[in-house]
Amino acid sequence: MSILVNPKNNTFHLQNDHISYIMTVYPNGQMAQLYCGKPIHDKEDFSYLLEGSLRSHSAYVENGGDSISLEHTKQEYAVYGSSDFREPAIEVRQENGSRLSDFVYKSYEILPGKPALPGLPATYVESGDEAETLVLHLADETADMELQLMYTLFAGAGILARSVRVINNGSSPVFLERVMSFCLDLPDADYDLVQLSGSWARERTPVSHHLVQGIHAVESLRGHSSHQNNPFLLLKRPLTDEFAGEAMGFSFVYSGNFLAQVQVDTYNMTRVMMGIHPNWFCWKLEEGEAFQAPETVMVFSDKGLNGVSQTYHKLYQNRLCRGVWRNRPRPILLNNWEATYFDFDEEKLLNIAAKAKECGVELFVLDDGWFGKRRNDYAGLGDWYPATELLPEGIAGLSRKVEALGLKFGLWIEPEMVNPDSDLYRAHPDWVLSIPDRYRSLSRHQCVLDYSRPEVVDHIHGMIAKILRESKISYIKWDMNRSITECWSHALPADRQGEVFHRYILGVYSLYDRLTCEFPEILFESCAGGGGRFDPGLLYYAPQTWTSDNTDAVERMKIQYGTSYVYPVSSMGSHVSAVPNHQMNRITPLKTRAEVAYFGTYGYELDLNRLTEEEQEEVKQYSEYMKQNRELLQFGTFYRLQSPFTHNEMSWMVVSEDKKEAIVGDYRILSEVNAGFTRIRLQGLDKDTCYEVEGLGRFYGDEMMNLGLVTSNGSTGKPGDDVTAARDFDSTVYRLRAVED
């Protein structure tokens, strides 16, 4: 790993065994992008990559001769209005009303390791030799502003983390109307774009198309990263598949409004940008103040989509997630929500918890309805004190009783919301985001608290921290059940209302940081009506996220498959729920529900008392299997093998770091009649190692990777008398162990 600088021609080459990223300074002082891709040798002169050509009806920069038109060059951090007519990376409104910027190169510095981003989540290192950071200092002398472009190159992988800092050194305020965290100009457009889109209960579906001229934007203006679009893009060459070929991923470490955009011009040059969405964003920067943009993590791999995903998985598991739960296998939990909804009292909860303990569960979680006047969706949010008519000794008493059963205790909260029918709202109606004299939209009968106000965050922190101090709580599920409307703060002046969306997210991060630092042993799981805020920003504080409210096994195959494009198995909250499924009304086998949930944190979302004795015995077996294998399942190298979006048979697998163990999940969605033979080619094994496959025999790694593992079942050939041989929604989990000599 090295950052190579040629001061003679101001060229910067970030290089390791997996990637090269090369920049230089244009004659006009602006930064130019030269190359991003597979590693190449460094040399003194890369000037041949500075292509320029006279073109009709183009404008040329005054101090660059007639050979530099920014419209036709690859810029490192683009501006609009000075010969470039494409979308810009930055837009600054100055005192005279101008939005034109001219940031030119001044100096650089190279730092060991990686500096933190104040108030923001970001990837990190634990020693200086894990990464190296280049900081480019640019200046707009007319506006008296400084721009810092930060590039962190991680060792051992094609990872480049980028962020931007803007400083106002002038005597007048300026308004930042666009500050993208990432900008990359590529020389061609021969890419397929992959995004993760969907909606509630069908989050993060991979959607792909070939790039064409124009703009393709993936975005959220909902105040959170959203169910609809994830802050992630992937560009791959057309022949790249899961296992081979070049691909680049772009992941935004942020939880609020975002824009991920790809623009292809009429000369087939591609511009990729990612950052805070400029709509409804305007940040007033006073004299001497700085604005720090969030981080974007780019990953390059020539080993296919799995190569990109595995790089993200390892980085986010080990250098984004923090705290004692970063690498700790997750406890098997049971959440009471779909078991009781709001209909519970202490006796019912303890009855459910006792059966859960008997079936191998380690953590009992009390969901919504335990506080204030919360007996339905209409009241109580914001009043974070126990409902003693349901829980006579409060949360403290219930938590002690659950621990006496031999279980840990967890609790659901939704601290960013308030019902109009609540003591908090009646005392502080101005603490919600709303616009005077305009209609206030409700969603799920609730309003959004104004987390741009520190006093609101302080108040909520006080109530939640009191409960955590008084009780024996090992887990918190932090929910957020609506998008933001009427985004206006009663505490900010008119010229700062464009800051509210971002200040809100900074307030959320602040509360997360305070609680996780004060209670470091508590496992936090983030949630937003399921997967509405599954993003890297929250993984920094909560190492797992409720993947989706849809717990149907078949739908979860798709949701977890798509989520794995960027997020590790250890981050995916996955539960076995009751049938008929509460979202899909589908009936799937208990075995299949468990074997899908294995590839996640694993837990239960039902009352186990309602299962038959035979089913309860099954649950005990599944819980024991998970305990024996969860470290491999949650932290092994994950491979997508066959997609549920294109095949009736879906498969994935995890492999231990030493390649001595593996677990394969194979799922047949619908049974077939007189079907063909099937096999799946495994990945990641040692080709010379002989493995024992439970129930099948011994096979060498190269056999299973090149010939495949035979998965034909009773649907092949003439139907027989064995009715269990083939059925809808079937699954098989294969355990592989290296045969010792």
Q: Over the stretch 557-566, which tens digit does the pLDDT of each residue have? A: 999 999 999 9
Q: What percent of the chain has pLDDT over 90?
A: 91
Is residue 48 one of the residues assigned to a domain? no
> Is the domain of 266 the same as that of 372?
no
How large is the average pLDDT for residues 202-214?
98
> Is the domain of 621 the same as that of 676?
no
pLDDT band at 63 (very low <50, low <70, confident <90, very high): low
> Is the domain of 611 the same as that of 698?
no
Q: How many CB atoms lie within 10 A of CB 392?
A: 11
How far apart CA 47 and CA 60 sit, in angstroms, is: 19
Is residue 641 one of the residues assigned to a domain? no
Is residue 32 one of the residues assigned to a domain? no
CATH number, domain at 282? 2.70.98.60
**Domain extent at residue 703:** 649-738
pLDDT band at 28 (very low <50, low <70, confident <90, very high): confident
How far apart CA 559 and CA 310 sit, in angstroms, is: 17
Q: How many CB atoms lie within 10 A of CB 452?
A: 23
How far apart CA 723 and CA 637 sit, in angstroms, is: 35
Contact status, residue 33 vs residue 47, Cβ threshold 8 Å? no
Residue at which a domain ends, from 605, 635, 665: 635
Is residue 351 one of the residues assigned to a domain? yes
What is the pLDDT at residue 727? 87
Say which residue the tokens 């500050």 belong to: 179
How far apart CA 651 and CA 732 sit, in angstroms, is: 10
> Is the domain of 379 the same as that of 304?
no
> Is the domain of 291 the same as that of 367?
no
Two structure tokens written together for 574: 């996955």
Is residue 47 one of the residues assigned to a domain? no
How large is the average pLDDT for residues 374-380?
96
Residue at which a domain ends, from 319, 345, 378: 319
> Is the domain of 628 the same as that of 712?
no
Q: Tens digit of pLDDT for each residue in 590-648?
A: 999 999 999 999 999 999 999 999 999 999 999 999 999 999 999 999 999 999 999 99
Is residue 324 one of the residues assigned to a domain? no
How far apart CA 604 and CA 551 sit, in angstroms, is: 10
Q: Tell me the average pLDDT of the chain.
A: 96
- The strand pair at 417-418 and 603-605 is best described as unpaired
Q: How many CB atoms lie within 10 A of CB 385?
A: 15
How large is the average pLDDT for residues 396-406?
98
pLDDT band at 712 (very low <50, low <70, confident <90, very high): confident
> Is the domain of 432 the same as that of 524?
yes
Provide the domain count of the chain.
3
Is residue 36 one of the residues assigned to a domain? no
CATH number, domain at 672? 2.60.40.1180
Lowest mean pLDDT segment, chosen from 41-55, 310-324, 667-681: 41-55
> Is the domain of 653 the same as that of 600?
no
How far apart CA 256 and CA 394 sit, in angstroms, is: 34
**Residue from 557, 708, 585, 548 nearest 645 by CA:** 557
> Is the domain of 424 the same as that of 522?
yes
How large is the average pLDDT for residues 366-391?
97
CATH number, domain at 348? 3.20.20.70
Is residue 8 one of the residues assigned to a domain? no
pLDDT band at 722 (very low <50, low <70, confident <90, very high): low
Residue 62 Cα distances to 66, 70, 84, 102, angstroms: 8, 11, 13, 12
> Is the domain of 705 the same as that of 570?
no
How far apart CA 9 and CA 80 sit, in angstroms, is: 26
pLDDT band at 66 (very low <50, low <70, confident <90, very high): low
> Is the domain of 268 the same as that of 347?
no
What pTM does this model have?
Answer: 0.97
Lowest mean pLDDT segment, chosen from 1-5, 94-98, 278-282: 1-5
At residue 493, does pLDDT exceed 60? yes
Q: Which residues are catalytic?
A: 479, 549
> Is the domain of 613 the same as that of 694?
no
How far apart CA 13 and CA 494 sit, in angstroms, is: 44
What is the pLDDT at residue 510? 98
Residue at which a domain ends, from 635, 657, 679: 635
